Amino acid sequence: MFELIKKKTAELIVSGKLKHKNNQELSFSSALKKSFSFLVLMPADEKDYRQSFQILDYLESQGKTLTILTNDFRVSLLPAKYRNKAIGFAVNEVSKLNLPTHKLTERLQEKLFDVVIDLNREENLFYSYTANIVKSKIRIGFKKRKADVYYNFLVEGSDSDSVKTYNNFLNCIKMF
């Protein structure tokens, strides 16, 4: 019961902060090719975390500049070539309402990204909100509850097989 109240309170806070944010119309046909800097929000789920490395490999092969946001204790699980590109956030940088703290928000707002990619397949308000506090024109995420509020490019991710889901995600962004 208490967790539900915390979740609803967090959703109200986020919707209030994002109410005035409007998504401008974009042509995705060349937007990803022209984009240079990417912020990738790594999945909270352990199984998804490892399967999502192929997305990082593809973006790296395309010459994109990557910044990876993940829990600080998961930075060591990243392949060695990505560890220096990671921003690890500590447990104390997540508020009691499961939102980024002011300290983490300021750290992320210092940077400008062309694209933010949220690789969480399950609903996670922390990452959805983080994708919106960062200065970026394109926000890509999986289709989930209220995803159209947070992202302007949605990819279907309802498959229970994470390998298949991330392959589909990869094929989708390759088209653009």
Per-run averaged pLDDT (10 residues), the chain, 176 residues: 73 68 65 90 94 96 96 95 96 92 94 95 93 92 88 84 91 86
For the whole model, what pTM was predicted? Answer: 0.89
CA distance 29 to 174: 11
pLDDT of residue 55: 96
pLDDT of residue 171: 92
Contact 140, 52 (CB under 8 A): no
pLDDT of residue 39: 97
Contact 43, 169 (CB under 8 A): no
pLDDT of residue 111: 92
DSSP 17-84: HHTT--PPP--HHHHHHH--EEEEE--SSHHHHHHTHHHHHHHHHTT-EEEEEEEGGGGGGS-HHHHT
| Number of Cβ within a 10 Å radius of residue 40 | 25
- Check if CATH label 3.90.1150.10 holds for domain 2-19+26-174: no
Collapsing DSSP states into helix, strand and coil, what is residue 166? helix
pLDDT of residue 165: 92
Contact 82, 68 (CB under 8 A): yes
Domain ranges of the chain: 2-19+26-174
pLDDT of residue 5: 76
Contact 44, 70 (CB under 8 A): no
The residue to which tokens 């119309």 are assigned: 25
